[in-house]
């Protein structure tokens, strides 16, 4: 008897979902066989609850309908009499019935087709527990997975629980309701026709299945980025509509009711206090539709799951998140970054953004996977930077998380996942190769924000990538003090160590040079002649010292003329604080490992506008410090 591959796909679901969907399919086939001339049994409306909430979200459900001969209409699936094969329907019924009987013998508590005793709710991916609220406390079974003293491993637990919200039926319904499927599908079909015409003209073969998947995800990302979601650097004031600046993270319990992280901003006009909660509940994100990469990846991954794609929420420990979607046509996981509208460009972050990757972990309802190696062409360098836990601890944690997530899956589904993992691990052993577009710098976020994070395209050409790390003496004293004198053009640090040359110790620089006015016996940093913008930054990284940042003090001298402007920003992660009047003392980065001071020089008038925004102006014979970064460690 011929095996139906769509039934193989159907068995990738959990036992309960498989039994429910197969029961519905049996009823559909029986109705057609018993009443072959009745058109009512040959039409399934897409808005039908059984179709939209049971068959559509399942793996292989729609494929089975198409295998039986159903075709897409305007608002329904139709089974034309001419496409109906009684022999095929009979063989399908016999095979799926035989397979169901095996499952029913293994699951004696199931008495009714597709149902379970006691009226317990069904889940499409994980039936062991009710889906927890996003980023809520882990369930008892998860709390025992890792040592709670390791913050990184605990974070893996949190994300493993967070992604379960994508499997809730209410979440999927909300997701489907916001997606303009007809518009996206029309654009996909238009692009597909173009590919077909080109292939026909050139007499070339065309892999329509893989192109179709790529086109759909790409169009979904375009809609998400351009029409649906909004990037938020800092919220505008509701009262006076002025820009605001970050002040602190809220510690007020009343403000932390709906989110465990709330950023506090101050309006630049009326000084009003503005709150920006970092929301993890995707159903709320479908309403607010704004945020930074965390909110973007969370919402986009949920949309992919609602559309029936297997999808992962991917965490980059160096501060970014994105999505991976499993392409059935390619039999592999594909990188998707909705923030950048980037598809299958895994080296984007290492090569384009200049990231020093450490851990990249993907989370789905089926488990977690270390996918770091997909995103790097320099595996040895990455391994040398991985120090948040031992490799053995990481592997043990991921194995236990996967065991919990897959405990109630069918044997067939677990077998498929195991085989897929083996194939993926083999692929990950080979360093990634550069593809077109991997050198693109970051596009999302304001220029100043991207500059502070060193993720712009132009920066990569001129960056020197010098990073200040604590010496043995500084570790013992738990304090780093980095100073610069423009007159002597040298850096000085604790212990008397000096380094000559302003650009020898900067992390990045663009369109900036050291200007010496011999007539006035004055020196300073400014933009190169003719440039509209100059940028320079310094970075401190204490991650290899075993210590964390406790407090940061910055003194940075700047001078402007006419309408010249020097914008100074101190950043750690996605939190940036402006350095007002060249001085800042803050504890807001407590617990961080990396801080970055950035300066953007703009403005000025006339032919010498490039000189009207200056850093470190002082007499050329001066020995005074014009830049000082002091970091207290703990």
Would you please indicate which residues are annotated as catalytic (active-site) residues? 293, 320, 337
* Token pair 């509509």 in the structure block, residue: 241
Angle between helices 61-68 and 86-106 (to 10 degrees): 150
**How far is CA 455 from each of CA 188, 347, 445, 568, 624, rounded to the nearest angstrom?**
31, 13, 10, 17, 33
Q: What are phi and psi of 427, to 5 degrees?
A: -65, -40
Query: Which helix (DSSP H) or strand (DSSP E) does residue 400 occupy?
Result: helix 391-406
Question: Do 125 and 241 contact (CB within 8 A), yes or no?
Answer: no
What is the rounded distance in angstroms from the CA atom of residue 188 to the CA atom of residue 198? 15
C-alpha 274/C-alpha 251 separation (Å) is 14
Q: Is the backbone of residue 180 left (phi > 0), alpha (psi -120 to 50) or beta?
A: beta
Cα–chain center distance at 360: 10
Q: CB neighbours of 96 closer than 8 A, spacing ≥ 6?
A: 4, 7, 10, 22, 25, 26
User: Tokens in use for 592?
Assistant: 């961080």
Distance (Å, whole) CA 280 – CA 261: 10
The residues facing 577 across adjacent strands are: 570
- For residue 284, with 0-12 CB atoms within 10 Å meaning exposed, 13-18 middle and 19 or more buried, which class applies? middle
Contacts of 302 (CB under 8 A, 6+ apart): 165, 166, 171, 175, 282, 285
**473, 495 Cβ separation under 8 angstroms:** yes
Distances from the Cα of 189 to the Cαs of 72, 162, 186, 210, in angstroms? 14, 34, 5, 14
- CA gap 313, 265 in Å, rounded: 28
Best CA proximity match to 78, nearest among 51, 102, 100? 51
Report the distance separating Cα 167 and Cα 302, nearest Å: 8
- 210/194 Cα distance (integer angstroms): 15
Tokens of 82: 């001419």
Strands 76-78, 43-45: pairing is antiparallel
On whether the CB atoms of residues 153 and 395 are closer than 8 A, the answer is no
In three-state secondary structure terms, 207 is coil
- How large is the angle between the packed helices 15-34 and 86-106, nearest 10 degrees? 150
Q: What is the helix, strand, coil percentage profile of the chain, to 5?
A: 40, 25, 35
In the numeric block, the tokens 């993992």 are attached to: 421
- The answer to whether the beta carbons of residues 291 and 262 sit under 8 Å apart is no
| C-alpha span between 62 and 423 (Å, rounded) | 26
């Amino acid at each position: 008897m011929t095996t139906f591959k769509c039934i193989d796909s159907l068995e990738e679901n959990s036992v309960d979902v498989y039994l429910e969907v197969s029961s519905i399919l049996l009823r559909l086939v029986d109705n057609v066989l018993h009443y072959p001339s009745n058109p009512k049994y040959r039409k399934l409306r897409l808005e039908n609850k059984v179709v939209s909430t049971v068959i559509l979200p399942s793996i292989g459900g729609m494929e089975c309908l198409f295998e039986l001969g159903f075709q897409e209409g305007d608002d329904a699936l139709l089974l034309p009499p001419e496409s109906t094969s009684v022999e095929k329907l009979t063989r399908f019924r016999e095979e799926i019935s035989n397979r169901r009987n095996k499952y029913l013998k293994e699951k004696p508590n199931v008495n009714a087709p597709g149902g379970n005793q006691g009226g317990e709710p069904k889940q499409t991916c994980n039936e062991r527990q009710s889906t927890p609220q996003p980023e809520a406390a882990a369930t008892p079974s998860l709390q025992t997975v890792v040592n709670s003293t390791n913050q990184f491993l605990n974070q893996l637990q949190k994300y493993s629980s967070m992604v379960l919200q994508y499997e809730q039926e209410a979440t999927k319904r909300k997701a489907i309701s916001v997606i303009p499927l007809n518009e996206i599908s029309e654009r996909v079909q238009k692009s597909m026709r173009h590919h077909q015409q080109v292939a026909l003209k050139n007499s070339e073969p065309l892999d329509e299945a893989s192109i179709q998947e790529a086109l759909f995800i790409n169009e979904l990302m375009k809609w998400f980025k351009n029409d649906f979601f909004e990037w938020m650097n800092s919220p505008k004031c509701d009262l006076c509509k002025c820009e605001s600046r970050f002040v602190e993270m809220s510690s007020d319990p009343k403000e932390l009711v709906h989110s465990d992280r709330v950023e506090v901003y101050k309006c630049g006009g009326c000084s009003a206090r503005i709150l920006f909660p970092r929301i993890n509940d995707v159903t709320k994100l479908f309403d607010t539709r704004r945020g930074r990469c965390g909110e973007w990846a969370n919402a986009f991954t949920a949309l992919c799951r609602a559309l029936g794609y297997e999808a992962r929420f991917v965490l980059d420990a160096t501060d970014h998140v994105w999505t991976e979607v499993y392409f059935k046509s390619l039999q592999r996981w594909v990188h998707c970054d909705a923030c950048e509208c980037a598809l299958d460009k895994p080296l984007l972050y290492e090569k384009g953004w200049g990231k020093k990757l450490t851990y990249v972990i993907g989370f789905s309802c089926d488990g977690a996977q270390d996918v770091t190696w997909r995103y790097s062409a320099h595996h040895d360098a990455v391994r040398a930077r991985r120090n948040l836990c031992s490799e053995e601890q990481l592997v043990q944690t991921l194995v236990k998380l996967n065991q919990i997530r897959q405990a109630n899956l069918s044997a067939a589904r677990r077998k498929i996942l195991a085989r897929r993992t083996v194939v993926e691990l083999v692929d990950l052993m080979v360093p990634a190769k550069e593809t077109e577009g991997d050198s693109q710098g970051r596009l999302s976020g304001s220029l100043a924000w991207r500059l502070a994070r060193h993720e712009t395209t132009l920066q990569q050409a001129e960056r020197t990538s010098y990073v200040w790390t604590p010496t043995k003496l500084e570790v013992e004293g738990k304090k780093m003090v980095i100073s610069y004198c423009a007159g002597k053009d040298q850096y000085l640090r604790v212990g008397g160590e000096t380094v000559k040359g302003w650009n020898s110790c900067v992390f990045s620089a663009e369109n900036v040079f050291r200007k010496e006015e011999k007539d006035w016996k004055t020196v300073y940093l400014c933009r190169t002649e003719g440039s509209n913008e100059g940028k320079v930054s310094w970075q401190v990284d204490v991650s290899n010292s075993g210590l964390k940042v406790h407090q940061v003090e910055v003194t940075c001298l700047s001078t402007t003329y006419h309408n010249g402007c020097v914008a100074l920003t101190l950043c750690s992660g996605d939190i940036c604080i402006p350095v007002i009047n060249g001085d800042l003392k803050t504890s807001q980065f407590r617990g961080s490992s990396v801080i970055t001071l950035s300066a953007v020089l703009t403005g000025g008038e006339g032919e010498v506008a490039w000189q009207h925004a200056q850093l470190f102006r002082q007499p050329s014979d001066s020995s005074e410090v014009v830049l000082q970064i002091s970091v207290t460690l703990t």
